Structure 1
């Protein structure tokens, strides 16, 4: 094993390769299956998506259609250490320990079962989830495409890991799991808080508009000009002069905000640019796509000096004497979403609205001065909710970082003090190597007995 740039570890630990600790690696086969999880007595094959950096997911499986393909030796059982040898750069080398399984599932050619000699499998699981473990896997994985990397069995065996004394492995694993349990409880509480804040946001919006629910109903089309945008890739007459100009796509127009991190260019004529150029105060609303995109939108504030919009984004330019952009945007994002679901065209998981639907959106419309007061009060409430939401998100990020801190401290031997009475890891490795040496002799003896 190469010793270049290996981090310092306690004196009772030892650096080893995964292959030094293995008693074997088992792999299944690749063959045609039905793309659904097996039911009742059916047998299935596990997919690569069953093994990520979380828990084993037995639902990520497919059904074996041929009984000739069924091999009980390949069935996955509780306690198995599974390793994904092929996946994206982020997921290649992901591993899990199976805690429970209700389906009859076999290994595939991409999901391997690792078997160990005298070592705590959970220790290896956690080491491979540290930043060091990920770096080792990425160092040894092959392939030059982000979408698929591979790490073969020889390279899995070459992964370098620190090995503590056996007793210390058990103590560290116990402490990690105790800390992770507390951390997961905190994360669950933060996620509940986030859900409650979302409910508060809904309640604040509904309460703000409730006081004017009896105001005269006006349709959006009567409040200003509504236009569609420029169709991407349209055919033009030969010789038509165009130039590239920034434009807004559906992805840029979020519910209650604009995401301008990625702005693309589109070819447009000077007349199209003049007609479709956005000005501050324009209300933008999406035509649809996925159901969550339907009718979502926000206000253009002139963030880019020259910008137009594509045909899947509607622009509403309001008459300032009738309606304010923030009143219409808040109303459309909340109440309009329900209206668009009802009036729009829907297929499986997709929905869309047209110009007619949009123009007909009914809005209870008080005088402009009352609209401004409604929005001032609403945005005061939403600002407080947003601040709390940002705080929750920051704590969720800290929780994720803390998991890695705990793992890295464990990997460095700094999570718990060492016990001088522990048997050094070097002696553990010597016993494993002795067992390796005896294994071929035992297999040869069994073969001689069979053929005698």
Structure 2
């Protein structure tokens, strides 16, 4: 890195990490030795930028060889850096500091830097989070296509700007003052974003309750076809379709019905029980999903047959693709032969997709509208609505009610969270007249566009705050954040003193090693009381 070193202020010096800290890589603790309590093992997942999370991803061990405990037990002010992540993604190299946490052990692929006194560890915690250091850190990245690594040897050879000791404290004080202000601003932006999310849901609620189009209804009173009449047409169309299908089946079997008695086999969909449902605006009515559409399931072509997947062009939607309200593509695609040789179905565009089996149902019910013909897997159910309906209206009505749908239709006693399809089929939704459905969609789109713009502004400002954070760090470690004091002892002398003390310690350890000592096999057990 020597050729990349920039000029430092007077009194500063570049220091190699191995000269100013004891650098150590973690130990590969064996999973078969893990316990429910004891010493907590600090893994990559416990470390985020500037944060040590010991509440999640908990792993413990209670019996450790004394030599391992002495070497890998973490202490206050130890600096930790993650050394493994996704290659070329810069999703590691995260830095944090151990504060008052006790009984923590250093796991493999995490580096520990223990800075020699009297250096100020918090200064180095911030310095190692700066973009210049991270840029140099990732220049040392090795690994395969998926996994990236940085070695302990590379860490030790990195250089860091070292100011005089009093200035280290002044820099940290100023950083924390400015970061506190930034954090407060970011927290406010996040609250605004949360409010916008609630406002979006409030818009949908107002839409399905008729409040969004109240003025329009007043201006066009008596002009709309009642939703009940629209429902009658939908149900008539539904029955006619069933009768046509039955006749086709009989004709294919060479049968001719003698009378209309076969029509009695038709099952009308259940009518919603409206006794406990709220009143709706004039000309609206309650319907359920069974009344207004046809349900379809999905499936997965055998993954071991390459012809079912390779060069596939048919979108095959699974819960992982249900991240937006409208779907036109998928992460995985299948071939025509894969579609024909599996339980997967091609669902017509304009259908509603409901995730009915997935861990995500612990939090939310994903619902989406497909914009192109799409296949689905077995964890999704599709409702293809009558052509007399506006599918966008149904999407918005379903999104407005999805919290209640999830609560009402969740299946109990299953290993994986699931929706009871029989309950979903008869779930009641408000149906507006067809022309009012269009006004509702227009109103939602208008308000959502405003929300989208506000959210974009919030996200832009959050990103700007992160850039400002890096700008503060850049100023800090180029000597521009706080003034230099000519009375401070130059960092060069501080570094010389640290090197001399380190050399003396190394010499002392070398002398001790020449004396024969029995190898200890003692283990320390953590008292669990």
What TM-score do the two structures reach when normalised by structure 1? 0.81
Does the 8 Å contact 2:405/2:424 carry over to 1?
A: no
Q: In the alignment, what sits opposite 2:40?
A: 44
Whole-Å separation in 1 of the counterparts to 2:22 and 2:62: 32
Does the 8 Å contact 1:33/1:65 carry over to 2?
A: no
Residues 301, 271 of structure 1: alpha-carbon distance in 2 compared, 3 angstrom cutoff: closer
Displacement of 1:134 in angstroms is 1.5
**2:216 matched to 1:218?**
no
Once structures 1 and 2 are overlaid, which stretch shifts more, 59-68 or 367-376?
59-68
Q: In the alignment, what sits opposite 2:254?
A: none
**2:376 matched to 1:317?**
no
**2:262 matched to 1:264?**
no
1:31-70 → structure 2 map (5 Å cutoff): 31-32=30-31, 38=37, 42-59=38-55, 60-66=57-63
Q: In the alignment, what sits opposite 2:448?
A: 382
Q: In the alignment, what sits opposite 2:429?
A: 363
1:410-429 → structure 2 map (5 Å cutoff): 410-429=476-495
Within the candidate set 58, 80, 83, 1:82 is matched to: 80
Determine helix, strand or coil for the equivalent of 2:454. helix
1:251-400 → structure 2 map (5 Å cutoff): 251-258=320-327, 260=329, 263-269=331-337, 276=346, 278-279=348-349, 281-292=350-361, 295-302=365-372, 307-321=374-388, 323-345=389-411, 350-353=416-419, 356-400=422-466
Residues 37, 413 of structure 1: alpha-carbon distance in 2 compared, 3 angstrom cutoff: farther
Consecutive unaligned residues of structure 2, counting only runs of 5 or more, are: 212-277, 518-529
1:440-451 → structure 2 map (5 Å cutoff): 440-443=506-509
Displacement of 1:114 in angstroms is 1.7
RMSD: 3.8
Whole-Å separation in 2 of the counterparts to 1:234 and 1:93: 36
Does the 8 Å contact 1:33/1:63 carry over to 2?
A: no
Q: In the alignment, what sits opposite 2:208?
A: 209
Instruction: Render the CA deviation track for 1:49-79: whole Å, top value 9, x for unaligned.
Output: 2233232223344222326568467543433
Residues 350, 160 of structure 1: alpha-carbon distance in 2 compared, 3 angstrom cutoff: same
Q: In the alignment, what sits opposite 2:139?
A: 139
Whole-Å separation in 2 of the counterparts to 1:87 and 1:145: 11
**2:314 matched to 1:246?**
yes
Whole-Å separation in 2 of the counterparts to 1:423 and 1:396: 39
Bigger-Rg structure (1/2): 2
Does the 8 Å contact 1:218/1:364 carry over to 2?
A: yes
Within the candidate set 398, 415, 435, 2:501 is matched to: 435
Once structures 1 and 2 are overlaid, which stretch shifts more, 323-332 or 107-116?
107-116
Does the 8 Å contact 2:327/2:368 carry over to 1?
A: yes
Displacement of 1:181 in angstroms is 0.8
Whole-Å separation in 1 of the counterparts to 2:302 and 2:338: 16
Once structures 1 and 2 are overlaid, which stretch shifts more, 353-362 or 14-23?
353-362
Instruction: Render the CA deviation track for 1:425-450: whole Å, top value 9, x for unaligned.
Output: 32322222222333345557788999
**Alignment length, in residue pairs?**
436
Q: In the alignment, what sits opposite 1:4?
A: 3
Does the 8 Å contact 1:247/1:307 carry over to 2?
A: yes
Displacement of 1:247 in angstroms is 0.7
What TM-score do the two structures reach when normalised by structure 2? 0.70
Once structures 1 and 2 are overlaid, which stretch shifts more, 199-208 or 434-443?
434-443
Instruction: Render the CA deviation track for 1:69-109: whole Å, top value 9, x for unaligned.
Output: 684675434333334455555465433222222x5333345
Does the 8 Å contact 2:14/2:160 carry over to 1?
A: yes
Whole-Å separation in 1 of the counterparts to 2:424 and 2:133: 53
Q: In the alignment, what sits opposite 2:103?
A: 104
Displacement of 1:4 in angstroms is 1.9
Whole-Å separation in 2 of the counterparts to 1:276 and 1:178: 58
Determine helix, strand or coil for the equivalent of 1:195. helix
Residues 386, 36 of structure 1: alpha-carbon distance in 2 compared, 3 angstrom cutoff: farther
Whole-Å separation in 2 of the counterparts to 1:24 and 1:224: 65
Determine helix, strand or coil for the equivalent of 2:494. helix
Whole-Å separation in 2 of the counterparts to 1:94 and 1:308: 40
Instruction: Render the CA deviation track for 1:130-167: whole Å, top value 9, x for unaligned.
Output: 12212222233543364462522x33221122222323
Does the 8 Å contact 1:282/1:316 carry over to 2?
A: yes
Displacement of 1:393 in angstroms is 1.7
**2:190 matched to 1:191?**
yes
Q: In the alignment, what sits opposite 2:226?
A: none
Q: In the alignment, what sits opposite 1:151?
A: 151
Whole-Å separation in 2 of the counterparts to 1:258 and 1:247: 10
Whole-Å separation in 2 of the counterparts to 1:271 and 1:25: 54
Whole-Å separation in 2 of the counterparts to 1:225 and 1:31: 53
Does the 8 Å contact 1:83/1:94 carry over to 2?
A: yes
Residues 37, 175 of structure 1: alpha-carbon distance in 2 compared, 3 angstrom cutoff: farther
Whole-Å separation in 1 of the counterparts to 2:348 and 2:35: 48
Q: In the alignment, what sits opposite 2:297?
A: 228
